[in-house]
Chain A
Amino acid sequence: MKIDEVPQDDIPTFRGHGTKAIYALDARGRYTKTTTSGWEVEELVLRDVLADFAEKAEAAKARILAGRTSPIEYFLNRRLMDLAALAQAMGIGKWRVKRHLKPRVFNKLNDKLLQRYASLFRIDIATLKQFKEILARDPDSQF
């Protein structure tokens, strides 16, 4: 890639965060460190996977209101994790996280464990506990 071929697409994700460094060839064919404001290709693939997470989070919301899953599933997707990553980050088994997705089990969880989930999700424990009520008031709420 030559310097004048380095994309400068000013991608929204990185706007306000400066530029990125990249190696490209100058006019004499020598490698130089230069900067880019991003490539639309990276933006597009990132947006695609984020949209997928957002879709899953929205689906989880509906299922929480219907009493078929727990708020953990919503935050799992909002925080861009999968079940394995969440279990590892919590330091507990995948089967336990899976159990905590059952509303019946979730409602009986002690505050200590809930607090660990809340800290990991970077929210208040209250948000986790009263998620259904908050959703009922404002179905579009985002956390």
Chain B
Amino acid sequence: MILIPNFKHQHFAHCESGVMSSLLQHKGLTLSEPMVFGLSGALSFAFLPFLKFGNMPLVSYRMFPGHIVKKFPKQLGVAYFRKTYRDPAKAMAELDDFLVQGQMVGLQTSAYHTTYFPPEMRFHFNAHNIIVVGRENNEYIVSDPVFDQLQRIAPEDLQSARFAKGLSAPKGLAHFPLAVPEQIALTDQIARAIKKTVHMMLYAPVPWIGIKGIRYLARRVGKLATKSEPRYFRLFLGNIVRMQEEIGTGGGGFRFMYASFLQEAFEITGWPVLQEASERMTAAGDQWRRFALEGARWIKNKGTEGDPQLPARLLRECAETEKEIYQMLKKAQPS
């Protein structure tokens, strides 16, 4: 049996930020999951009607998958190993080599092949993230941040999961930090990260991203409520709610996690705006939850009661609340 020494499995809300937090911590750089999420500027909103996923347009509450693994280490000045493979056999052999060397490895996988998932959740989602921390009895021991215990997976399933094809195919991606800097200018990082997120949410030059995206989605929902086939509308609403609440978001489409980041950022910088923004972001998360609740209610009674325009109205309220937060955060750094 091989097991990485000094590794403690941690339970996180989101796979990618959780994996990054775990990997960095093992190398001696402690950043909480919300800090990883916030500093990497992973918060977002996107409604891409032209990109269909399971017959439904893509709705996302964060940056595209892979964003954190790709950009965050460089931003921090962490030396990072990252490799994709063409040959599955070679990828699996190198994974074994790393384990023998005592190196745990972050992997991108497809949820469809991760056999330890509940069967109802094994969708074709190619951008799940896990850490392989050991091997025993021809099974890999996996630290999957969204589960509270270590999991196990057979080599052939892990291989399939690493080489699933399609949208954001993992291509066997393996990654881990090599060395971390001794000190990180956190205040500076916080200011830059917030600025980036604010800019994207307020001024994205396309109508699908940020506040514009939320409003665009609200318009679409309002229109479908009266004009589309009831079943399609139900599935459309359900799709939004799933992207927002299903495992891996920490609830409220990552808004609670970001509020937690803002609170931590306030403690580090002492900028009072961050404290207030955190409270308002919590309120935004609660509003998103309210939308999910009403959407689910609509689905449950098959649209026979209630106001069909309510979901669209709630979405508009979310857009309004978030807009105010970002405008406030624009002046986060006292000059």
Contact = CB atoms under 8 A, between A and B. Distances in A.
Interface of A: 1, 13-14, 17-25, 30-31, 33, 35-36, 39-42, 44-46, 48-50, 52, 79-82, 84-85, 88-91, 119
B292 A41 contact: yes
Contacts of B257: 23
B213 interface: no
B184 interface: no
A89 B165 contact: yes
Contacts of B285: 1
A50 B120 contact: yes
6 contacts: A1-B286, A19-B11, A20-B146, A23-B250, A31-B260, A45-B295
B148 A18 contact: yes
A89 B166 CA distance: 5
A137 B20 CA distance: 51
Contacts, number: 132
A-B pairs with the 4 shortest C-beta distances?
A88-B166, A31-B260, A18-B148, A45-B238
Contact of B241 (A1, A13, A17, A42): A42
Given A30-B263, A49-B238, 17 more contacts: A1-B251, A1-B282, A1-B286, A19-B11, A20-B148, A21-B145, A22-B13, A22-B251, A23-B250, A24-B256, A31-B264, A39-B251, A40-B296, A42-B246, A48-B235, A80-B122, A82-B52
Nearest to A119: B160
A36 B295 CA distance: 21
B259 interface: yes
A50 B54 CA distance: 11
Given A1-B252, A1-B285, A31 B54 contact: no
A46 B242 CA distance: 7
Interface residues of B, number: 59
Given A31-B260, A49-B242, A85-B54, A44 B300 contact: yes
A122 to B, nearest CB: 9
Contacts of A14: 118, 247
A81 B289 CA distance: 27
B250 A48 contact: no
Contacts of B124: 79-81, 85, 89
Nearest to B122: A80
Contacts of B118: 13-14, 17
A21 B37 CA distance: 15
A33 B169 CA distance: 31
Given A1-B286, A17-B147, A22 B120 contact: no
Nearest to A41: B296
